[in-house]
Amino acid sequence: MMMMMVFILMFLIGNLIFVLKHKHLLVVLLSLEFIVLSIYFFLLIFLCCNEYELYMLMVFLVFSVCEGALGLSILVSMIRTHGNDYFQSFSLL
């Protein structure tokens, strides 16, 4: 029960940072990775308690690494073109 409270707290803190600190792209990406880490811990606890196979965790890790690499490449591209990672300087038009 205590581990579930830790998961819920991690998930809520990650979402709070994602919603409130949206000035820099790096902070947004770090909060998304924190949310993914909390979901990974939840899946680990759930699958171990129910004695399921842990192959789904490997698939989840693959997708989370791909998401992190994609976010990092977007950050590098944005810094190369605009010189910073502020969302105000980035125009979608």
pLDDT at position 93 over 80: no
Residue with tokens 């770090």: 30
Which pLDDT score, from 0 to 100, does residue 60 have? 92
CB contact at 8 A, 40 and 57: yes
Which pLDDT score, from 0 to 100, does residue 85 have? 74
Within a 13 Å sphere around the CA of 38, how many CA atoms are in the beta-carbon half? 18
What span, in angstroms and rounded, lies between the C-alpha atoms of 39 and 69?
A: 18
What span, in angstroms and rounded, lies between the C-alpha atoms of 51 and 74?
A: 38
pLDDT, tens digit (0-9, with 9 covering 90-100), for 66-82: 999 998 898 888 888 87
Output DSSP code: residue 89.
T
pLDDT, tens digit (0-9, with 9 covering 90-100), for 49-62: 888 888 889 999 99
Domain 1-88 top-level CATH class: mainly alpha
pLDDT, tens digit (0-9, with 9 covering 90-100), for 6-60: 888 989 998 998 888 777 888 888 899 999 999 998 898 888 888 888 888 999 9
The pTM score is 0.82
Our CA angle for 24, 27, 30, nearest 5°, is: 150
